[in-house]
Chain A
Amino acid sequence: MKRRSTERKSRTSNNREFAVITYLFVGIFISLMGYFAYFQVFRSEDFINSPYNARLNTFSEHVVRGEIRSADGKTLAQTVVGEDGSETRYYPYGNMFAHAVGYDSNGKSGIESFGNFNLLRSHAFFLEQAVNGLKGDKNQGDNIVTTLDQGLQEAAYQALGDRRGAIVALEPSTGKILTMVSKPDFDPNTIASEWDGIIADTDGDNSVLVNRATQGLYPPGSTFKILTTLEYLRENPDYQNYTHECTGSITVGSTEIHCYENSVHGTEGLEESFAKSCNTSYANIGLGLDRAAFAKFCKSLLFEEDLPIAYPYKSSRFELDAGSTDEEVAQTAIGQGKTLVTPMHMAMVTAAIANQGVLMKPYVIDHTENYKGVTVKEYAPSQYRTLLGPEEAAKMQEFLSLVVSEGTGSALSGQIYQAAGKTGSAEFSNNKGESHAWFTGYASTAEKGTIAVTVIVENGGSGSSVAVPAAKQVFDRYFGQ
């Protein structure tokens, strides 16, 4: 008996190592298949939607491209199938959504580009798909429902009139892109026939295909004082004691910096300097800042960084460093110098301030649904990054409110909504009379929540007289005046 049991033991342990190896490999194969499944379910869309992926074009042989809709139920783009089976992409609002929705001939842009995969997939009922397959008919592709509000887009579109520039509206609590207008624009319905002319027009001022909201780099002018102020608050907890005697101009090195339209602001504290947008005071503040820390701070607010948006964009520029000259620092502090920013980036910074420092990732596709309206996939709001501490954000909210209550944004005071924001008049050439008009700010009511709006009007003049009224039209429409 004893002998038998030892035999048995030696025999089982004889194969133990084989069993270990077998289990090890089975484990490896299971993780391999697990990763494959994970890729198919969670990661594949990043690759499928890549513009490098040539496969998507063949989808249209079997699917009728789906519609793009606004959040308020309007059709922004649809494919009309003629009796002979010919397909035409139709944009009912023409130029109004040219950059936000994009075009679908001579290449693709906007939602037509990054939503391409969604539009070319069909989640129609499978039996219907089978019948279509039998008959050789195409399936109806899925629809994209956007976060864009057609009414608000229309208000922004009209507010900009026939001037060049851009308007962006975000919902700070979610990151929804409510409005995105860029001018000059084009009619996506007729772009195919006008293509050669558009391409031939090499005048940089026209460039109608450029989405100025995300690709237009502008000097920020006085709107940049938001960042200068935030950095000053970080470096000087006793900012309450700041005073400056404004004489209308200040000389830094060989440069003389003036206040806008040569105003003289007299003795002022930090709040007043901000509200009145006093250039001499801010040049003075800038000279006192730690240059390296300032650069680091701007980087943390996404200057020289990637933006989390689906639209093609340019990264904002901020070129100050520890070795910069006083002149550069003074210019940068007031938003001139080499700093450049996109309207979308400015809107994101503003939205983060309005949202207690937290930047929500901007998004424009709310959900996709099959052509019968059954939801296929929802895109939930997501936090991108905390840009500011809650106290910093609250303090900046106070400063921005002062601009409306007693400063350059006073046209927005006394409304049914509480508005706050910062104006800017950014010089972009050596001609002192010319400037881009900026406004970036937000407004809220108890019922409708908060909306952040950024306006740039190229060569529009002063922010307070041009950009603020445009923003007001958007606010008025949103809050239903």
Chain B
Amino acid sequence: MVHLITELSKYTMIILFALYTYQCFSALRRDVDPEDQAWKFRKQVIYLYLFHLNAYAVLFLSTKNVDLLKFYLEQAAFFAAIQLCYGIFYRRASKLVVNNMCMLMCIGFVMLTRLSYDHAVKQFWIAVISAALTLLIPFSVSRVRAFRNLSWLYALLGITLLGVVAVLGAVSHGAKLSFSVAGISVQPSEFIKIIFVFFVASMFYESTEFAQVVKATAVAGLHVVILVLSRDLGAALIFFVAYMVMLYVATRKLYYFAGGLLAGAAASVVAYFLFNHVRVRVVAWQDPLAVFENEGNQISNSLFAIGTGGWFGMGLNQGMPYKIPEVKQDFIFSAISEELGGIFAICLILVCVSCFLMFLNIAMQMKDFFYKLVALGLGTIYGFQIFLSVGGDIKFIPSTGVTLPLVSYGGSSLLSTLIIFAVIQGLYLMRERALEEEERRPKRGRAARLEAEGRAGGGAPEREKAPKKRAGKRKGRIKSHEKTIHGTKVQDIE
């Protein structure tokens, strides 16, 4: 009987998650009216709860661990609290981003419970605290205007912290990534990447003159070099790509982007010959089975898991994901693919893609150039981290040891991702308020719009300064084909 439920649940969980994923994209359509829109998001929440219930039912039946019942209820209450808080305080936030955030954490809790109950409980309480801490962020982002003026402070903070970690940090898994504060191990690079995005955005907000680009590039390069030296290759790549993308968009110069990527490729080749820890990853990627006893062990086990799981998975608690070293952090995707199935895993990628699209969507909608760049930078960091994590797990690219945001085990990764999501929600709030004021005074043209923006930004003195710098970029009207979706507006790409 238990076997039957496990077997059937394989399919029901895939169906529930596929329906959820479908709504992520059907909600992006332009021709949906707001009521339908709201109903779609309510359906997503229903699918989330059904999936959550189904998964914990299977986990309970296969382990007979009574603690799971309590744990399940705590999680359900946690998701309800998040939904409620956003419903009450941030009615204008993106519902899709809230739902995705809950869904990804939910999948993470399910998988971690299956892998190690104790770690799952720890992760859950970190999530509760982090969610509470980040609840204020959307408000402050939408009200405080000073974030754009702190460029050198960001740089100082980032470089100092990274330097301290590189010099003093504990050696964990061949990479100096973390240090302990009061018994809690913190991985600063997870937070510095957010500060880094703010740094780059404020630099380019000030100016995109050549001299400024040189300064910004020098500081960004310093970040990357310190990360490479402390062997955190994944983070180094993420910083590098985020900087190149922001540089390209801010300056609109394709040759910066192309040149940067070429330089990056050349640097990778140099790193390959210079550093043994880079070569090891490449060797394991080329033919993992040939070096199974050593370098290839982790990736081989990951591929055993994914392959044996197939499209429909082995069922929760039916596989052997624990055979993969570091499965809770870097290889959680392989564990999901093994037990919940390849279809589920593809849907998981799609949900992450929908988050990424929401980040880029708000980047395009914002009129404030600083926040345009912030949203772009955070979106790039998030999207590229998904690519590195999943790509490494499935042997599409050499493994770089990067977590899957919101799903993997790890407090720093979870908190930093929740901060990113909260910042994005703050931008949705700003955008939404600007639109409302615009609608109230639809016909008064430029002056009214500028004023609206000034208020959105909060500080009156800025009113003169900002438009001057970005003159010509804030004049456009909302185009006729922009449609309201999920309580906010989306415009055509091109």
- Residues of A bordering B, CB below 8 Å: 7-8, 10-12, 14-19, 21-23, 25-26, 28-29, 31-33, 35-37, 39-40, 43-48, 50, 52-56, 58, 62, 133-134, 136
Contacts and interface: CB of A to CB of B under 8 A. Distances in A.
Given A17-B248, A32-B396, A36-B394, A22 B300 contact: no
A29 B388 CA distance: 11
B357 A22 contact: yes
The 7 A-B residue pairs with the shortest CB-CB distance, nearest first, are A44-B307, A11-B476, A17-B249, A53-B304, A19-B493, A47-B303, A47-B307
B349 A55 contact: no
B342 A36 contact: yes
Interface string B13-55: 0000000000000000000000000000000000000000000
Contacts of A136: 1, 3-4
B132 interface: no
A45 B307 CA distance: 7
B311 interface: yes
B4 A21 contact: no
Contacts of B493: 15, 18-19, 22-23
Given A7-B476, A39-B394, A26 B353 contact: yes
Interface string B307-323: 11011001000111001
A39 B353 contact: no
Contacts of A37: 342, 346
Contact of A58 (B320, B391, B475): B320
A19 B494 contact: yes
B394 A28 contact: no
A53 B303 CA distance: 9
A47 B387 contact: no
Contact of B360 (A7, A22, A133): A22
17 contacts: A10-B475, A10-B476, A15-B491, A17-B252, A18-B364, A18-B376, A21-B248, A25-B384, A28-B383, A29-B349, A47-B300, A47-B304, A52-B289, A53-B308, A58-B318, A58-B320, A133-B7
A15 B364 contact: yes
B292 interface: yes
Given A22-B360, A44-B310, A55-B320, A133 B3 contact: yes
B349 A50 contact: no
A210 to B, nearest CB: 24
A136 B4 CA distance: 8
B387 A28 contact: yes
Contacts, number: 140
Given A36-B342, A39-B394, A47-B307, A14 B360 contact: no
Interface string B385-418: 0110011001110000000000000000000000
Contacts of B1: 136
B151 interface: no
B307 A8 contact: no
Interface in B320-358: 320, 323, 342, 345-346, 349-350, 353, 356-357
A12 B494 contact: yes
Interface in B288-307: 289, 292, 300, 303-307
A10 B300 contact: no
Contact of A36 (B318, B346, B364, B475): B346
B155 interface: no
B318 to A, nearest CB: 7
A55 B249 contact: no
A18 B476 contact: no
B235 interface: no
Given A17-B249, A52-B304, A55-B319, A10 B494 contact: no
| B306, B311, B319: most-surrounded residue (chain A CB, <10 A) | B306
Contacts of B58: none
Contact of B300 (A16, A25, A52, A58): A52
Contacts of B237: none
Contacts of B8: 133
A446 B240 CA distance: 68
B196 to A, nearest CB: 17
Contacts of B323: 54-55
